[in-house]
Amino acid sequence: MRINLSAAALITFLSAPLGAQWFDQPTKGIPRLPDGKPNLTAPTPKTADGKPDLSGIWLGDQWAPAGRRPNPPGGGRGGGGRGGGAPEMLPWAQKVFNERRDTSLRDDPEARCMPQGVPKASTLPYPFEIVNANGKTLILFEMYSLRRQIFTDGRELPKEYAQPSWMGYSVGKWEGDEFVVHTAGVNDQVWNIDLAGHPHSDALHITERYKRVDFGHMDVQVTIDDSKTYTSQWNMPVMRYTLLPDTDLFEFVCEKNVDPQHMVGK
Amino acid sequence: MKYVLLLVVAAAPLLAHHSFAAEFDSKKPVELKGKLIELEWVNPHAWIHMEVTDASGKVTKWECELGSPNLLMRNGWRRDTLKKGDMIVVSGSQAKDGSNMANARSVTSVDGKRVFNAGSSGDPGTPGALTQ
């Protein structure tokens, strides 16, 4: 049982430049090469307070059409963008996971236009935008128009959650050049925390470490801590992202879905 | 009839919002040649509705799933890229439930238009493929 990350069969017969296919909205103020293309390997930008600036529109490397970094040694494109890792599960979780894999994730509510949770929403083939706001960092997801708010005003995670939610409750702070986000309060309607189909409980605590390694690339290390589901804390493979310059997020309302009636699984 | 192959296996792979393997069978490839009835431009998937005429003249209706409009646009499609009556060839995988429904991997038009990869998911070997 494995996730196929191979891209060997992907052959481009015609590859028109992505920017030219969008609606001619060049991103202002970004470093560019002499030919006008965005310089994705320029230095990491900073905010006014000297911290790395994470803002921008990002897409997982496994989906990014251009500009992504070479594959990591021994890994496929994007590594953990597909979720996964090989955590040791408690018996109930292993049973659930096996059932999901045996039915090709047929029952994933995403197929019925329901929201995804953290970090799965960041692993999909749609971009998201990170926005620096006053006292919070926002992540706007194109798919299903979801959003996360990560409080950066110094508050701690609540002890209890009166209203568990799909995206949970998130607080963030800087540790060196990494933006560290802690998330809890995820509801039980989040079916899988990654594309591999891993389950969770109300004990789920997610730690994300965002690092913008240069202008056009960002790494996110995700650690899963859920003692009711897994025997120990585990790391997903590092998720790698590439900046999508000269584009905008678009509305995405899941308005007409006919797939579930045809999803037979195996 | 001469079909001009301009088609693209896109640089940006398109994936469904759902499991490909639960719905479509990569071992049941189809190549559908026929007339476009409608390009339905809706989320989470755009759809090609087409009529396929076999050698005996029998007409069969097919529905072919594409990526979302946003992904299609980022790959060069527009909502009017295909028009009613256009003759097209759709390559893809048939639904596991045996209905006249397919996940389109590519679309070829006969009139020289650029038509891009349509697939809302991948066969094994392409990004987006979830295999076990």
Residue A62: phi and psi, rounded to 5, are: -70, -15
- Chain B contact probe: residue of A1, A5, A11, A13 with most B CBs at under 10 A: A13
A260 to chain B, closest Cα gap in Å: 8
The verdict on a CB contact (< 8 Å) between B19 and A8 is no
| Most distant pair of Cα atoms in chain A: their distance | 58
The C-alpha atoms of residue A80 and residue A119 are separated, in whole angstroms, by 10
The C-alpha atoms of residue B112 and residue B3 are separated, in whole angstroms, by 9
A102 to chain B, closest Cα gap in Å: 9
What is the SS3 assignment for B132? coil
Residues 6+ apart with CB under 8 A from A208: A118, A119, A180, A181, A183, A220, A221, A222, A223
Nearest CA in chain A to B12: A65
Judging contacts by C-beta atoms under 8 Å, the chain B residues touching residue A66 are 11
- Is pLDDT larger for residue B121 or for residue A108? A108
Partner-chain residue, chosen from A9, A113, A247, that has the shortest CB–CB distance to B126: A9
Please determine, for residue A8, whether its predicted confidence score (pLDDT) is greater than 80: no
Interface of A with B in 77-116 (CB under 8 A): 77, 82, 101, 103-106, 108, 110-111, 113
B85 alpha carbon, distance to own chain's centre: 16
What is the SS3 assignment for A75? coil
Is beta strand A169-175 parallel, antiparallel or unpaired with respect to A147-151? parallel
Tokens standing for residue A226: 């859920």
Judging contacts by C-beta atoms under 8 Å, the chain A residues touching residue B128 are 63, 125
Please determine, for residue A15, whether its predicted confidence score (pLDDT) is greater than 50: no
Tokens standing for residue A102: 């045996």
pLDDT digits (tens, 9 = 90+) for B73-132: 877 788 888 889 999 989 888 998 889 999 888 888 776 555 556 544 432 223 332 222
Residue with tokens 């790494």: A219
Average pLDDT, integer, range A186-213: 95
Cβ pair A183, A96 in contact under 8 A:
no
Average pLDDT, integer, range A114-139: 93
The verdict on a CB contact (< 8 Å) between B70 and A250 is yes
The C-alpha atoms of residue A103 and residue A107 are separated, in whole angstroms, by 8
Please determine, for residue A80, whether its predicted confidence score (pLDDT) is greater than 60: no
Judging contacts by C-beta atoms under 8 Å, the chain B residues touching residue A12 are 8-11
pLDDT of residue A24: 60
The verdict on a CB contact (< 8 Å) between B13 and A124 is no
Residues 6+ apart with CB under 8 A from A7: A62, A76, A77, B125, B126, B127
Please determine, for residue B14, whether its predicted confidence score (pLDDT) is greater than 50: no
Residue A82: phi and psi, rounded to 5, are: -85, 5
Please determine, for residue B16, whether its predicted confidence score (pLDDT) is greater than 90: no
Q: Name the amino acid, one letter, at A145.
A: S
Question: A77: burial class by Cβ within 10 Å (0-12, 13-18, 19+)?
Answer: buried
pLDDT of residue B61: 97
Band of residue A70 on the pLDDT scale cut at 50, 70, 90: confident
pLDDT of residue B67: 84
The verdict on a CB contact (< 8 Å) between A104 and B22 is yes
Judging contacts by C-beta atoms under 8 Å, the chain A residues touching residue B70 are 126, 142, 250, 252
Please determine, for residue B13, whether its predicted confidence score (pLDDT) is greater than 80: no
- Is pLDDT larger for residue A218 or for residue A84? A218
Band of residue A7 on the pLDDT scale cut at 50, 70, 90: very low
What is the SS3 assignment for B73? helix
Looking at the DSSP bridge assignments, the partners of residue A175 are A178
The verdict on a CB contact (< 8 Å) between A263 and B127 is no
The verdict on a CB contact (< 8 Å) between B15 and A124 is yes
Please determine, for residue A266, whether its predicted confidence score (pLDDT) is greater than 90: no
Judging contacts by C-beta atoms under 8 Å, the chain B residues touching residue A142 are 70
Average pLDDT, integer, range A49-77: 79
B6 to chain A, closest Cα gap in Å: 8
Interface of A with B in 11-40 (CB under 8 A): 11-16, 18, 21-22
Average pLDDT, integer, range A50-70: 87
Band of residue A23 on the pLDDT scale cut at 50, 70, 90: low
The verdict on a CB contact (< 8 Å) between B23 and A259 is yes
pLDDT of residue A92: 98
Question: A119: burial class by Cβ within 10 Å (0-12, 13-18, 19+)?
Answer: buried
Band of residue A141 on the pLDDT scale cut at 50, 70, 90: very high
Write down the mean pLDDT value for chain B. Answer: 74
Q: Which residue in A139, A134, A123 sits closest to A55, CA to CA?
A: A139
The C-alpha atoms of residue B49 and residue B66 are separated, in whole angstroms, by 11
pLDDT of residue B5: 36
Asked if the ipTM is above 0.90, the reply is no
- Is pLDDT larger for residue B18 or for residue A206? A206
The verdict on a CB contact (< 8 Å) between A63 and B13 is yes
The C-alpha atoms of residue A173 and residue A184 are separated, in whole angstroms, by 15
Band of residue A195 on the pLDDT scale cut at 50, 70, 90: confident
The verdict on a CB contact (< 8 Å) between B19 and A11 is no
Residues 6+ apart with CB under 8 A from B131: A2, A3, A4, B21, B124
- Is pLDDT larger for residue A168 or for residue A254? A168
Locate the DSSP E strands across chain B.
Answer: 24-40, 47-53, 59-65, 87-95, 101-109
pLDDT of residue B3: 43
Please determine, for residue A260, whether its predicted confidence score (pLDDT) is greater than 80: no
Q: What is the pTM of this model?
A: 0.82
Cβ pair B110, B84 in contact under 8 A:
no
Percentage above 70 pLDDT, chain A = 83
Asked if the C-beta of A3 comes within 8 angstroms of chain B's C-beta atoms, the answer is: yes
**How many CB pairs lie under 8 A apart between chains A and B?**
147
The verdict on a CB contact (< 8 Å) between A254 and B17 is yes
pLDDT of residue A223: 95
